[in-house]
Chain A
Amino acid sequence: MTLLRATRPEAGAPAPPELPRRRTWRSALRRDWQLYSLAVLPLMFFLVFRYLPMLGNVIAFRRYSPGGDVFGEYWVGLRYFTMFLTDPSFWQVFTNTLIIGGLTLLFCFPLPIVLALLLNEVRTRWLKGFVQTISYLPHFLSIVVVAGLVLQIVSVDGVVNQGLSAVGHDAIAFIQEPGWFRTIYVSSEVWQTVGWGTILYLAALTTIDADLYQAARVDGANRWRQTWHVTLPGIRPTMVTLLVLNIGTFLAVGFEKILLLANPLTYPTADVISTYLYRVGIISGSFSYAAAIGLFESVIGVTLVLAANRISRRLVGTSLW
């Protein structure tokens, strides 16, 4: 995956350059068996912990009983899919997922670009470094710590309510109010991710040819027009690539954080597909039903990545592969 250059990665690339003579598997194995042997354990990891669970999704189409066969007992066809597609609480969490995912994208995608552009304008070296160091910090915290910080700040005795009472407002139990959940969630996402999100943009900014700015100045462009006509086009490949990646993870929004911050009182706005399937599957033990929802989510996720990738290749000529 290449974030800074709009080229094809080697992964999906066609044939490697023609070798002088085509080696057969037999001679490749004889020559490179030591290399292949190094790949054995990692391959076992991928097969067991990545590909086997993909196959495990067959339980979405089969009756599964805990403790029984890992791949289920007998086929039930699309029963579990019809079940959740006709379940109103599924559509509730589906809508919540779209809203929270949409809001997260709306704030967490553009803000790092803005911050990177602002940092790029700072001429004092140590100041720029200082702001960067501070703003990366939240990225390194455990999500449990972040949730703990959020809960303390919005608690009844926390600083937000202290501010409210200073202006004569009654305290609000934010974490129990469905109407506040999305604001709290998105703010904490912004707090945790925006600083770190600037790294790739700052790297892309350094690759822009200084001659372009020179030429723009000669043409009479002020700083603002230089930003618009030189800087933004210069980081466009990075923007598009990150946008495509963000869209791909759209439905998987903040599972762990929502699990930590939501409670039954806020479920009407907070519950998303991933937390719903966690409760249905792991807490209530309806594994097949939850697996069907999970499969649905993954398939939509992959479709979104493919679609976004295709659109970006058509429109701006940048794509992941």
Chain B
Amino acid sequence: MVSRGQRAFQVVNAAVLTLVVVVTLFPFVNIVARSFSGEQEIRSGQVSLIPRGFTTETYRHVMSDAMFWTNYRNTVVYTVVATAISIVLTTCYAYVLSKKQLKGRGLLVGIAIFTMFFNGGLIPNYVLVSSLGLRNTLWAIVLPNAINVFNLLVMKAFFESLPTELEEAAAVDGASQYGTLWRIVLPLSKAILATMLLFYAVSFWNSWFAGFLYMDRQELFPVTVYLRNLIAGVTAGADQTASSETALQIAASIQAVTIVLTMLPIMLVYPFIQRYFVSGVMLGAVKG
């Protein structure tokens, strides 16, 4: 039996959740509308949900900027290299930590966990990366963030959930520990490897601060720094009409197009990757 109060609640609840959906989606629709609008129409405050003075000229304009593509390619390269290294290091360490019988395991776990609560801070990290000579190399982006401890714990939880019999059988058959990991454990871990791949790839794709901090030359920036400099008015991006003074008036349409093009890859894969993220977070929370 559904009481009246309950029915009223369901209606209110549906209204609130609809509002959540609308509020969440609004900025996306707005930015797409702006990206297809004429500069005049944007500046005079006419654009909200529907493009005004529809044009694709701005897209053509931004995509003809060579620096945009250079920075986009940098993002791809940084993401691929960083993700590959992160996955290898995280897998190795998580596998070791999942071995309950291993002597010294508690210490190895503690070394990782401690860094979740205490870190060196911005300045010592900056001094370290600079003095190692990593500035203006991709290693400044890759190495300082090679292992994410949360991801490590998720993966450790997964390895611990695997049945031990298979590994024991492999050991009896004379397989080495390397061989067991490579031929028995990893083939069983495709799901978690996919999850890790996404966790790391999305976070490196989205990151900007390391690139901003350690790259001095424009042709080394990831695309997020290209966008940052555009919205901060430091560079004009594809906007050749902008004045060369320090406070640039960047065309709003150019900003909108660059934002859309930067988030596009994530938006395209999002429907397919979302559930991996959710299950990864659950695994980390339940078992970590």
Partners in one complex: yes
CB of B44 within 8 A of CB of A195, answer no
CB of B120 within 8 A of CB of A54, answer yes
Q: What is the CB-to-nearest-CB distance from B143 to chain A, in angstroms, rounded to a whole number? A: 6
Max count, chain A CB within 10 A of own CB: residue among B42, B122, B282 = B122
Contacting residues, chain B, for A77 (C-beta < 8 A):
none
Q: Which of A11, A55, A127, A141 makes the CB contact (< 8 A) with B110?
A: A11
Q: What is the CB-to-nearest-CB distance from B238 to chain A, in angstroms, rounded to a whole number? A: 15
Taken residue by residue from 128 to 154, chain A's Cβ proximity to chain B (1 for < 8 Å, 0 otherwise) reads as 001101111110111111011101110
The answer to whether A246 has its CB under 8 Å from any CB of chain B is no
The A-contacting residues of B in range 36-79, CB under 8 angstroms, are 42-45, 47-48
Q: What is the CB-to-nearest-CB distance from B121 to chain A, in angstroms, rounded to a whole number? A: 4
Q: What is the CB-to-nearest-CB distance from A321 to chain B, in angstroms, rounded to a whole number? A: 9
> Taking CB as reference atom, which chain A residue is nearest B16?
A118
Contacting residues, chain A, for B202 (C-beta < 8 A):
140
CB of A161 within 8 A of CB of B13, answer no
Taken residue by residue from 75 to 117, chain B's Cβ proximity to chain A (1 for < 8 Å, 0 otherwise) reads as 0000000000000011011011001111111101111110111
CB of A143 within 8 A of CB of B178, answer no
Taken residue by residue from 28 to 40, chain A's Cβ proximity to chain B (1 for < 8 Å, 0 otherwise) reads as 1000101110110
The answer to whether A248 has its CB under 8 Å from any CB of chain B is yes
With A141-B263, A294-B121 as known contacts, state yes or no: A119 contacts B17, CB within 8 Å: yes
Q: Which of A9, A28, A56, A148 makes the CB contact (< 8 A) with B124?
A: A56
With A152-B34, A223-B6 as known contacts, state yes or no: A13 contacts B106, CB within 8 Å: yes
With A152-B255, A203-B286 as known contacts, state yes or no: A54 contacts B112, CB within 8 Å: no
CB of A42 within 8 A of CB of B93, answer yes
CB of A144 within 8 A of CB of B124, answer no
> Taking CB as reference atom, which chain B residue is nearest A321?
B113
Contacting residues, chain B, for A153 (C-beta < 8 A):
27, 30
Contacting residues, chain B, for A81 (C-beta < 8 A):
none
With A49-B144, A203-B286 as known contacts, state yes or no: A149 contacts B27, CB within 8 Å: yes
With A34-B176, A118-B13, A157-B44 as known contacts, state yes or no: A28 contacts B103, CB within 8 Å: yes
Contacting residues, chain A, for B16 (C-beta < 8 A):
118
Interface size range of chain B in the complex: 35 or more
Contacting residues, chain B, for A115 (C-beta < 8 A):
20
Chain A facing B: main interface SS: helix
Contacting residues, chain B, for A11 (C-beta < 8 A):
106, 109-110, 113
The B-contacting residues of A in range 239-285, CB under 8 angstroms, are 248, 256, 259-260, 274, 277-278, 281-282
CB of A144 within 8 A of CB of B274, answer no
Taken residue by residue from 230 to 258, chain B's Cβ proximity to chain A (1 for < 8 Å, 0 otherwise) reads as 01100000000000000000001001101
The answer to whether A43 has its CB under 8 Å from any CB of chain B is yes
The B-contacting residues of A in range 23-79, CB under 8 angstroms, are 23, 25, 28, 32, 34-36, 38-39, 41-43, 45-46, 48-57, 59, 64, 70
The answer to whether A16 has its CB under 8 Å from any CB of chain B is yes
Contacting residues, chain A, for B213 (C-beta < 8 A):
282
CB of B20 within 8 A of CB of A135, answer yes
A203, B256: Cα distance in complex, Å: 37
Contacting residues, chain A, for B146 (C-beta < 8 A):
45, 49
The answer to whether B138 has its CB under 8 Å from any CB of chain A is no
Max count, chain B CB within 10 A of own CB: residue among A50, A122, A131, A134 = A50
30 of the cross-chain contacts (CB-CB < 8 Å) are A2-B285, A2-B288, A3-B285, A4-B285, A12-B110, A13-B106, A16-B100, A19-B101, A25-B103, A35-B102, A38-B95, A39-B96, A49-B125, A50-B115, A56-B124, A70-B131, A118-B13, A123-B10, A134-B21, A135-B21, A136-B274, A138-B24, A140-B277, A141-B266, A149-B30, A152-B30, A153-B27, A157-B42, A165-B45, A200-B282
